[in-house]
Structure 1
């Protein structure tokens, strides 16, 4: 059994490799149809500035990178290889990598322990036997690999090059990629992310333990289908969650999902109740989707700790404000009624409550002037019976106001109010699925995110994230 004493040192070449070799490259195929060539192009486009080598039988070059016939023909040391060749060649390649002194093999290729096939399991066992002989660590098989913007390392096209402080580990390559894209669109950036597939060698326990001790990672997120070492997972989760927030999307929560996980990554899914108990005991935040995972991260990063679930809703549009209030209550937030003294203060600003709601929700019209909106919010901002403020923006509900003007006024007004809040504040920005107003919705959404606010596309997602974070802090204290 492997020892796990110094993962910070041992795993350094995974996220900061000095030299990468990509196995399976060819100069004769169209780029789109060769995974190794695409890995090389993606690394070059991302600006990877370590040594990059290609290995393949064709010779020649790809994107200016010389293709060597074998890994042992590379003249320099190589500490990390990405492998995109048929699985039957992997044992021989592992032997060659061992003689070369390679430290890590990332196996993009599949067809090992995840398939219900004796030959696949035997192939995986043979690969692991050789890897252990040379002390090579295996990432995968059947995975996308590593993304670390701080070292200009990526597995996918068009990922942000901005380093952040969120770590992500995912058994699924697709979920990992969707998570990165979802987070980047929300203004959330990564210290490192890794898709680890079948976990034939390096597994979720190793990666959680590593990220718990990683100073660059302040929040750990994970997509996990199952584990083969429950006791160790319990221990590393408990230790990690005592240091920093840990958020897990545990998939395979149904019978159908469990069967799919077994054939996807050979994961032993376990019962849903067991996982619920595990995460409750270790103070891990459990979520039900990748989107929800980064909803929670958004609240953790962009809001102070909520002291209670008492919530004030502020927005424009009676029906939309009522629906926002309903969604908050359905998620478990509480909606106290605005006291008479504050309602009188609002009446002094607006003269009448005709066309407005002054109870909670607070429906105020930004087109009556931002000065009035600021006065109204200032009057209720310190109300001691609420500890969360939800701002609701729906620019497309006003049919008689020119689009550019209504987006500018509504977005600008409520953004200013939210930035003035000393309490946890989230902004709900409602967009139609298909907009006919050029890029105004997307530009406004990005404007809100770039201002540093916690922005959500729907109330139910924001409210659920707020509740999960509140309960996390309550257990943590």
Structure 2
């Protein structure tokens, strides 16, 4: 079908309704029968082919929202009503009315909407939700990034809040879900195969009394140009060359710091000094024409004066001087660059945007691989490379890719101090001049030192490539993303209802659902999930048993589990009977959460309880809540807290038979003696690979996120479903 391409060549921005429905029908989407006529007499003549009651609409390229313009008449019952409707349509639509369309009056109480948009980052995305006049008011819609499989289409249908309407409803039969799936997958194929189609809006998609679904109105918006490629279809740089360059950067044997200077008496000492004091073992060259030496090391006036091309150039000069440094990098064969300098596109000022554009032109022409500008660059403990103060020299299994330099510092420090988990590589890349998040993921995918990938993103340049890569990589290495700026997406200039609903948050929500990537709403939340990825590796299900002291925790634990998507199962009568044989009734409750005061006073009893629960087949995961205020008083100087911790990691875990275990410590009294036992408690548990959190809410949310990930990976691997 070449129809849409022809319309683009003619300079048209939309298809008329008849053309739009012909296009949809070609992709297996059921559309209502309709007859196009030129005038009132033609409408009267052909009405018998439709039969009364019928619908009559004005048709024209610029008649986009016909209901608002008053050029749609429903339930027209006679020739007289039809003539009056045609007259009013001409009157209200004026010269924009080129013809009339007759349709049968589809009777049904349930109206849905479906559509297609082109997201600037991810390309074609499909929408499904509640339709009719409530589409924008209730905002009950979900999105998916194309391609959308039948399985994913079924998940979309189940996610709308109004899903009860899909079943038998007020005398009408349940919807034909197979047809709904065809609508969604048809729009997905249309978006991938027809780049000239910018948007599609099917509203309403009416279900009749028998549940049959049909599109009764459709709008197709065309792009401004004949060719509108998907993001990611441009010629890509050689992937292997980028990976090779990044490998050279993170294991650099020689580094030049352009703009190196003597450290001030206080404050940030500068990039050169950070590298030097961190123990960088390679050849480190300070470059500054205005300084002869730095801490006894000779400086060089420029890159040309260096004895060799280096593996990495760090640029720390005023913004205006950066283009000249890049020109020199290209001329001297120094192609791997980190630009620390700021004051470019991030300011939003036109001259600064132009300056960054100039830098990009130089970098592309010189085939430079640039991290930055406006970033902290690389932190690689194994290579003793860092550009800030206070970083841990210990290397670990977690990589962090961040557009924010501050977040790179904060997250790596927090993960190390709070959970004793360390970084393999941290890459802060700022404005992404030539290298972007997807390039770093390509590298980390094959990096044997990285087992878990964490990211702070504000946007991606090539969403399609990013989506495809993450979909594959996340099945091998868990990926956790803290997406910034979701509520500041802004409104796009679109002319269809579907586009007006497609905020950045909805598309990113679809991204997380489709890829299985673990979402996080803060650096702390991301770290909480990393602990489980690192220590537990896998959880078998969502059922949780909670052991603690006091009945008060029961309600808020149940609420938090329900909100997070975990299951707090009621224990069977047989299991309760077994537990009651161990736990005396006075002051205790045998339900989930289990109020187990005696068990914390008699640790072998705690082991027996854990074993009974583990062998019951009724729970998948365990959370033990330790009330430090209460436990601390059991012995002098809080030694009993340590005793409980050691029992948990030794006998307790043995009695759980490999069931995942999480510990929560709770302290409410402002007692420094109690606070003093926390570091030792944390060290005992974390050293034994038992995750510990300082609140039940954090533990539950982290477990829920990790459980979702494990279930997603298991489903994909077992069923081999994309």
- Do they superpose with TM above 0.5? yes
In the other structure, the counterpart of 1:465 is: 702
Structure 1 position 226 matched with structure 2 position 462? no
In the other structure, the counterpart of 2:572 is: 339
Structure 1 position 97 matched with structure 2 position 329? yes
Seen in structure 2, the aligned counterparts of structure 1 residues 329 and 274 have a Cα distance that, compared at 3 Å, is closer
Which moved further from structure 2: 400-409 or 66-75? 400-409
Secondary structure of the 1:95 match is helix
Contact 1:324 1:392 in 2 (8 A): no
CA distance in 1, matches of 2:678, 2:638: 10
CA distance in 1, matches of 2:669, 2:487: 30
Contact 2:607 2:652 in 1 (8 A): no
Seen in structure 2, the aligned counterparts of structure 1 residues 50 and 31 have a Cα distance that, compared at 3 Å, is farther
Structure 1 position 212 matched with structure 2 position 448? no
Contact 1:78 1:100 in 2 (8 A): no
Contact 2:271 2:316 in 1 (8 A): no
CA distance in 1, matches of 2:411, 2:652: 27
Structure 1 position 428 matched with structure 2 position 664? yes
Q: Tell me which of the two structures has the higher relative contact order, counting C-alpha pairs closer than 8 angstroms and 6 or more residues apart.
A: 1
Question: Shift of residue 407 of structure 1?
Answer: 2.5
User: Which of 47, 52, 59 is the aligned partner of 2:279?
Assistant: 47
- The Cα offsets for residues 122-172 of structure 1, whole Å up to 9 and x where unpaired, read as 211222222233322111111011111222222333322222222210111
- The Cα offsets for residues 187-209 of structure 1, whole Å up to 9 and x where unpaired, read as 32222110000111111121122
CA distance in 1, matches of 2:372, 2:668: 40
Seen in structure 2, the aligned counterparts of structure 1 residues 355 and 38 have a Cα distance that, compared at 3 Å, is farther
Question: Shift of residue 3 of structure 1?
Answer: 0.9
In the other structure, the counterpart of 2:395 is: 163
Question: Shift of residue 404 of structure 1?
Answer: 1.9
CA distance in 2, matches of 1:398, 1:305: 31
Question: Shift of residue 82 of structure 1?
Answer: 1.6
Which moved further from structure 2: 361-370 or 208-217? 361-370
Contact 1:26 1:58 in 2 (8 A): no
1:369-448 equivalent positions in 2, closer than 5 A = 369-397=602-630, 400-401=633-634, 402-416=636-650, 419-420=653-654, 421=656, 422-431=658-667, 436-437=672-673, 439-448=676-685
Secondary structure of the 2:616 match is coil
Structure 1 position 76 matched with structure 2 position 308? yes
Q: How many residues align?
A: 463
CA distance in 2, matches of 1:323, 1:216: 40
Seen in structure 2, the aligned counterparts of structure 1 residues 84 and 334 have a Cα distance that, compared at 3 Å, is same
Seen in structure 2, the aligned counterparts of structure 1 residues 435 and 125 have a Cα distance that, compared at 3 Å, is farther
User: Considering only CA atoms, is the larger Rg found in Structure 1 or Structure 2?
Assistant: 2
TM-score by length of 1: 0.89
Contact 2:632 2:638 in 1 (8 A): no
In the other structure, the counterpart of 1:282 is: 515
Secondary structure of the 1:377 match is helix
CA distance in 2, matches of 1:367, 1:335: 22
Question: Shift of residue 326 of structure 1?
Answer: 4.0
* Pairwise CA RMSD: 2.5
* 5+ residue gaps, structure 2: 1-234, 492-501, 716-722
Contact 1:312 1:390 in 2 (8 A): yes
TM-score by length of 2: 0.60
Question: Shift of residue 272 of structure 1?
Answer: 0.7
Seen in structure 2, the aligned counterparts of structure 1 residues 471 and 400 have a Cα distance that, compared at 3 Å, is closer
Structure 1 position 8 matched with structure 2 position 251? no
Contact 1:247 1:284 in 2 (8 A): yes
- The Cα offsets for residues 321-354 of structure 1, whole Å up to 9 and x where unpaired, read as 654444333322222223344334334434x222
Question: Shift of residue 183 of structure 1?
Answer: 1.9
Which moved further from structure 2: 166-175 or 310-319? 310-319
